[in-house]
Structure 1
Amino acid sequence: MWIVAALALLVALAALGTAVAALRRTARPAPVEGVPADVLGLRQEVAALRAEGAGALRHLAVVRYDAHGDMGGHLSWSLALLDDQGHGTVVTSIHGRSEARTYAKTVTGWTSEQQLSPEELEAIGAARP
């Protein structure tokens, strides 16, 4: 029984040695003259994070207004939620005396196929960098 355990230990050590050797052989970016290798790694990390974050809804803007002339308080609003390419949605809530209605419209490339209100256009414009 102890022979099987010893054999399993030897196989595990051999596999570990092979893995360590493979990691040492992996290609690393060629160092740029005068720039430490860790800086190059950080640049690659930043580029990867930027690419990953490009699709996040990072551009937000809210426009509050009075949808009806006889009501005050700016209770109606339009909210633009967009990514770096201007894809996302604009959500609008129209507040009336007895009810509030909420609408969502798809935005692609900073515009929409659906007709946008002036307030929705203002929210999209305010969200645009």
Structure 2
Amino acid sequence: MIWWLVLNLVLAVAAGGLAAMAWRRTSHRGADEIGEQAPGDVLALRREVAALQAEGHRALRHLSVVRYDAFPDVGGHQSWSVALLDDSGDGVVLTSIHGRSGGRSYAKAVGSWFSEQPLSPEEERSIALARPAPN
């Protein structure tokens, strides 16, 4: 039984030594050196991740909803404006105006955080709220 414990202890020490050698061998390398030696499938994955990151900037990731009463005789904040924008501030503002006798919907294009079409104060506010704070 003692020989079994001694054998396990020797194997554990040997494994620890091998792990330390492997860590020393790779820890002093720069990222470029490791990247040059990476297999083709790893390089392909890196290219795919870079493409997905670039594509993510065009995703409609910034949004804000502003609810309000469009008319003084209609309560409950049933009207709303929502801004759906990408990282460059390109996208759309959607607005739904609720009144007693019906409703209207509007869509206005937004480019670089501004619209060429006139915006209501609520639409401007939804764009401002969707815009990320500067770093």
Query: TM tier, shorter chain?
Result: 0.5 to 0.7
Equivalent residue, structure 2, for 1:111: 114
TM-score under structure 2 length normalisation: 0.64
For 1:48, the aligned partner's letter is A
2:58 corresponding residue in structure 1: 55
Alpha-carbon separation, structure 2, partners of 1:109 and 1:86: 4
Deviation, structure 1 residue 46: 3.0
Aligned residues: 99
Deviations 1:37-89 (A, max 9, x none): 37876654432211112211111111100011222100000011111111111
- Structure 2 equivalent of residue 37 of structure 1: 38
Divergent runs of 4+, >2 A: 33-47
Residue 65 of structure 1: aligned partner: 68
Segment of structure 1 superposing worse, 31-40 or 55-64: 31-40
Counterpart mapping for 1:94-105 below 5 A: 94-105=97-108
SS of residue paired to 2:83? strand
Give the AA of the match of 1:127: A
CA distance in 2, matches of 1:98, 1:70: 11
CA-based RMSD: 2.1
Gaps of 5+ in 2: 1-30
Partner of 1:28: none
Q: Identify the residue that residue 78 of structure 1 maps to in structure 2.
A: 81
Distance, in Å, in 2 between the alignment partners of 1:94 and 1:125 is 20
- Residue of structure 1 equivalent to 2:23: none
